[in-house]
């Protein structure tokens, strides 16, 4: 019996409108996974789009974004 090899839908990557030419990261979200109850956020370097990405649980991403907005990582 053949295995079901249904391809996963492609991720829709987006950049911040504040990014400069080539110096940014891109993010994409996937809301459904068979083994997770929460969204997963993927992050990649826009200069190396095929170089891989990291994935972050949705709750952890939301906490990170809130801290960025509060200035927790300002240099």
Neighbours of 45 (CB within 10 A): 15
Per-residue pLDDT tens over the stretch 19-74: 776 678 889 988 766 666 678 899 988 888 788 889 898 889 999 999 999 999 98
pLDDT band at 10 (very low <50, low <70, confident <90, very high): confident
**Higher pLDDT residue, 37 or 14?**
14
Whole-prediction pTM: 0.70
């Amino acid at each position: 019996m053949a295995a079901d090899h249904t391809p996963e839908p492609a991720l829709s990557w987006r950049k911040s409108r504040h990014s400069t030419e080539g110096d940014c990261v891109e993010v994409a979200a996937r809301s459904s996974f068979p083994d997770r109850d929460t969204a997963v956020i993927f992050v990649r370097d826009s200069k190396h789009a095929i170089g891989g990405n990291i994935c972050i649980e949705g709750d952890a991403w939301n906490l990170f974004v809130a801290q960025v907005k509060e200035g927790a990582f300002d240099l």
